[in-house]
Structure 1
Amino acid sequence: MVYFSSLCDENEGLRVLMYIAADEYLPTTEAVGIRMTIHDKDDFPFPDTFGYSAPTGYISSFGMNMKAMSRLAAPYGDCVPDGKTESYIYEDYVYSTEGCYRTCFQDMVIDQCGCGDPRFPVIGNASHCFVFDPEQRKCLEDRTKDLGNIHSSFKCRCQQPCKQKVFTVSYSEAIWPSQSLNITLGSCT
């Protein structure tokens, strides 16, 4: 469980103090901390691919810069206009290349296994594979193993979106708390 309080500072941006209840983590957990994703409100967050980790025991600082990109659509370029495609598993979000690869993978799993990978949404009447069904689990494991890397191991045509916001992030950390720290909580105005 994560507890946090935030403080807005016009000079330093958003400051967040979080308490990570490390004693509530499973013993098989490989790391304790938070995973943060910086994305546009219309983009589906992919923290496993595009996330940043902030470990406990450190003060983490993230600086970010946003760039709006515009690519030319056909006949001059090859991008997906209007952020939409026919079949896309992240229906309420705009198209992204990562989402396209995951959609392509999910379509292949549904086609070959008759059910979808539970890590991703499904479209239409398809259902997720039941992990306790040995046949479905074996098929899903085989598809995942055969593909290895979902970006390069199977044939899928995923173009860039014509309009996209790209965030560049810089990160720094220092041991926390320092000996001279005096925590005071304020409010955003």
Structure 2
Amino acid sequence: MHLQQEEYLPWTDTASILLFVHNKNDYIFSESVRYNAEPHGTCNLDVFSTVYTKLGGRYGVCITNPDQVKSFYYQSPYATEGCLRSCYQNQINASCSCMDPRYPIPEGSEPCQLSERPCVEKESNENGDPSTWPTCVCPQACFNKIYTVAWTRSEYVAQLAECPDQSNQTCTSEEMDTVRVVIRLPTLDSSLYQETPAIIVGLHQNMLFVSFERIEFAILFSIS
């Protein structure tokens, strides 16, 4: 891949391609984990998948549909991060009569202009992270697939090759402007953490006790 560094603004001090590893239906947030693929080298990503499923209902609170929370302004399946950002937007709208343009805005709402920036910054600094707000309730999703990544980088060569034509010293410029990205699946194994219902029956002083509990177990399976 070419980074086209000649098109960067003069004050840009870092050149790289941002890589996000995520489920195809997931929304990329500004806080999402990313990997920088810098030029003049190869970026290797070894990807592993893990699936989490929760029971919900009597066994605990989890979300299967965005309609189950107060606000969710993302056009994607439910995610706790999206719920928190939507809760943040409601707070900004209540205090500044507009919403932060960095995040999705529901139809009929106005994005904050530059003149409202002091109000937005004031609310963000005073209230902190939405996950700590008692009015912002964003449970985990009942189903979640997470990718973990082992990341490595290696340069093409320790020393640049010399140009055959000594009068043309631009032959190595292309090498300095390219990056090679390699996505690998070291194994087809996948981990599954799943809650299953269980009934515990006990007898105490001639009295029968029945309780419903959840048991979490992990399964490692592979595709061959």
Letter in 2 for 1:81: T
1:165 matched to 2:145? The reply is yes
Match of 1:105 among 88, 100, 104: 88
Cα 1:83/1:118, change in 2 over 3 Å: closer
1:173 positional shift: 0.5
- Which of residues 90, 94, 111 is equivalent to 2:77? 94
Do the aligned partners of 1:64 and 1:170 also contact (CA within 8 Å) in 2? yes
Paired AA for residue 91 in structure 2? M
Matching residue within 145, 158, 181 for 2:125: 145
Sequence identity percentage: 29
Unaligned runs of 5+ in 1: 1-17, 182-189
**Which whole-Å CA distance do the structure 2 matches of 1:148 and 1:177 have between them?**
46
Does the C-alpha gap of structure 1 residues 99 and 140 become closer, same or farther in structure 2, counting only changes over 3 Å? same
Structure 2 length as normaliser, TM-score? Answer: 0.64
Pair 1:69–1:149, CA change in 2 (3 A): same
Amino acid at match of 1:72: L
Cα RMSD for the two superposed structures: 2.5
Structure 2 spans left out of the alignment, 5+ residues: 162-224
Indicate conservation of the 8 Å contact 2:44/2:151, yes or no: yes
Pairs within 5 Å for 1:1-12: none
Of residues 58, 73, 82, the one that matches 1:75 is 58
Q: CA deviation at 1:114?
A: 0.5
For residues 66 and 142 of structure 2, the distance between their equivalents in structure 1, rounded to whole angstroms, comes to 7
- For 1:84 and 1:30, the matched residues in 2 are separated by 43
2:101 to 94, 115, 118: 118
Normalization by structure 1: what TM-score? 0.75
2:62–2:142 contact (8 Å) kept in structure 1? yes
Which structure has the bigger radius of gyration? 2
Residue 47 to residue 55, structure 1, CA distance change in 2 (3 Å): farther
SS at match of 1:78: coil
| Separation (CA, whole Å) in 1 of partners of 2:105 and 2:80 | 17
Deviations 1:67-97 (A, max 9, x none): 221111121011112455452110x200111
CA contact (8 A) 2:80 2:140 kept: yes
Q: Contact 1:79–1:162 at 8 Å: present in 2 too?
A: yes
Q: 1:147: how far off?
A: 3.6
Aligned residues: 161
1:82–1:21 distance in 2 versus 1, CA, 3 Å:
same
Are the structure 2 counterparts of residues 64 and 83 from structure 1 closer, same or farther at C-alpha, using a change threshold of 3 Å?
farther
Q: Matched residue of 2:58: which SS?
A: coil
Q: Is the 8 A contact 2:56 2:142 kept in 1?
A: yes
